[in-house]
Structure 1
Amino acid sequence: MLNLKTGKAFRRLNGDKSTVPDPNFIPKVEGEVLLKRKEDGPTEPINFSVDGIAISPDGNILYYCPLSSRNLYSIETELLRNRSIPDEVLSSYVKNLGEKGASDGLISDAKGTVYAGDYENNSIRTILLDGTMKTIAHDPRILWPDTLSIGPDKYLYFIANQLNRQADYHYGKDLREKPYRLFRIKIDELPAPTK
């Protein structure tokens, strides 16, 4: 948490099961298990903590997900700001909204729909306010979708960063193909307002 007026920051839910890698998570990307494959060492699983974040249009709900997980979580921002609530108690207020696919990027629109990349399935998914999840884009070129943004033109923009093709996952050989791609999808919704 960062107070933009004072510049003071503090951590919440540090080490909580909703913010750390799922120990049973084994991602498959482009048909193979994604592991760290260093040039000079043994393979090991990827273990990335919370990475994707989005906020509801009214600023009252924070959505988040660890990169090494398929689950989407949420919590009321008022609870996060209340420093008198210890993390072990705060954890009981976290909601697991279910599996939405493995995501790097998240964003929400002005109506509260959350958009998530699904890097295992080369897809973009939506999570509606009623919890309904659906795929809105699927294409083999959507290699590790990330950095989601909604423009005033009512398009969802995102990149394919090809993270799974980086050298760390292929014994030192970088397999990414350039130029990198920027995609857009017409969603007919404005971005969530910022305050």
Structure 2
Amino acid sequence: MKTALFLMAALLVSCSSTSSSTPAASSASEPTTLSVAAESRTMIWNGVAVEGGRVFVSGPLWTGSKGPSVAVLDKAGQPQPYPDAAWNEAGRNPAQSFVNVNAIHRDGQGHLWVIDAGVSGFGGPPVPSGPKAVEIDLGTNEVVRVYPFDARVAGPGSYVDDIRFHGRRGYLTDAGRPGIIVLDLDSGAARRVLDGHPSVTAPSNRPVVVDGQIVRAPDGSPLCVNADPLEVSPDGKYLYYAPLHGPWSRIETRWLDDASLNPADLAAKVEPWADLPPTGGTAMMANGDLYFGDLAANAIKRRAADGTITTVIQDARLHWVDAPDIDADGFIWLPTPQMDRVALFQGGTAKIELPVRLYRLRIK
């Protein structure tokens, strides 16, 4: 939905911790096996980012998570509020605290971005000043800028989901009110594009299936999540994106950046890209390889730049892998929040199997 997800307002759309282990250090001699990097009985994390030996995790509070919204794992494996306790104080001024964080993402420039859907709770509308992107300097551990999304960008039904970058533009998906958000990182101006376009809208004929069961929204209908996973091609030419269910589309970033294009002309620039299965999250390498979680198969798969798809690992422990991250040492980090097992989708009784684990796997 991450990834992720991200599910909240998206789930309104119908189709008809305490960690107890220490984050493992990267080692070139480690075998290519799935290993537990951290685990928690309180924090339900759906996102991870790894940089400079530090492991950051995040998760929306509506899942039932009792930990901070964003945390860094200390040497004892304990999640510590990040960038500080104030930003993780629920109920505080939503312009200066996290409301419901859906994703975290490194920008390659030493900054961590936190994407806050800003919704009050499952099914609730965005709270005033809630939806935002928060940019944190990983060197100083300080928030350097907050990019708020007003009601014109993240209005009723919106669930701002995740972000990717090219140049001085950020591109975000809206998993609730289907569309793409283009953010100017200099001016802070944001605008919606491809509103309601089929490429960002959950299809009615591709249900999300996990462990052989269709995942259903609280009203009993098949779960539908609109624009969710996204990546920018290594050369920055294309934005790849999809509803959680797939299929994927692409559009050149130059067209997204051109505010003079009218909606019809921009829509005409969308192209089919890849018919991938429902996924909780993706990560793309510099060579164009796309790693994605196949929810139905409990697997991590790789789509090579030539379109070839291979299974990297299939394991029952990889139940709803959400937004992963690939670190500088060649490991992919895999959060497993078990989103389909949260109380919202289980008649009010959570079926999450604790502890929630963060896995990692060497891929290069």
Q: 1:59 aligns with which of 220, 236, 255?
A: 236
1:24 aligns with 2:205: yes
Partner of 2:101: none
Structure 1 residue runs without a partner (length 5+): 189-195
1 CA distance for matches of 2:243 and 2:349? 26
Q: Which has the larger radius of gyration?
A: 2
Does the aligned pair in 1 maintain the 2:325–2:333 contact within 8 Å?
Answer: yes
Q: 1:80 to 1:137 in 2, by over 3 A?
A: same
Amino acid at match of 1:160: T
Q: Secondary structure at the match of 1:45?
A: coil
1 CA distance for matches of 2:206 and 2:248? 14
Q: 1:126 aligns with which of 272, 289, 302?
A: 302
CA-CA distance at 1:74 after TM superposition: 1.6
Q: 2:195 aligns with which of 14, 34, 48?
A: 14
Partner of 1:113: 289
Structure 2 residue runs without a partner (length 5+): 1-181
Does the aligned pair in 2 maintain the 1:51–1:64 contact within 8 Å?
Answer: yes
2 CA distance for matches of 1:185 and 1:176? 23
CA-CA distance at 1:52 after TM superposition: 0.8
Does the aligned pair in 1 maintain the 2:248–2:274 contact within 8 Å?
Answer: yes
CA-CA distance at 1:115 after TM superposition: 1.4
1:48 aligns with 2:229: no
2 CA distance for matches of 1:132 and 1:19? 24
Partner of 1:193: none
Q: Secondary structure at the match of 2:340?
A: helix
Q: Secondary structure at the match of 2:255?
A: helix
CA-CA distance at 1:61 after TM superposition: 1.4
Partner of 2:186: 5
Does the aligned pair in 1 maintain the 2:225–2:243 contact within 8 Å?
Answer: yes
CA-CA distance at 1:14 after TM superposition: 1.5
Q: Secondary structure at the match of 1:90?
A: helix
CA-CA distance at 1:75 after TM superposition: 1.4
- TM-score by length of structure 2 reads 0.48
1 CA distance for matches of 2:292 and 2:269? 22
Stretches of 4+ moved more than 4 A in 1?
A: none
CA-CA distance at 1:95 after TM superposition: 2.3
CA-CA distance at 1:133 after TM superposition: 1.7
Does the aligned pair in 1 maintain the 2:281–2:292 contact within 8 Å?
Answer: yes
Q: 1:89 aligns with which of 265, 269, 285?
A: 265
Give the % identical residues: 31
Q: Secondary structure at the match of 1:93?
A: coil
Q: Secondary structure at the match of 1:2?
A: strand
Amino acid at match of 1:175: K
- TM-score by length of structure 1 reads 0.88
Amino acid at match of 1:81: D
Partner of 2:175: none
Does the aligned pair in 2 maintain the 1:100–1:133 contact within 8 Å?
Answer: no
2 CA distance for matches of 1:182 and 1:91? 38
Q: Secondary structure at the match of 1:83?
A: coil
Amino acid at match of 1:174: A
2 CA distance for matches of 1:65 and 1:5? 27
Does the aligned pair in 2 maintain the 1:16–1:91 contact within 8 Å?
Answer: yes
- Superposition CA RMSD, Å: 1.4
2 CA distance for matches of 1:16 and 1:22? 11
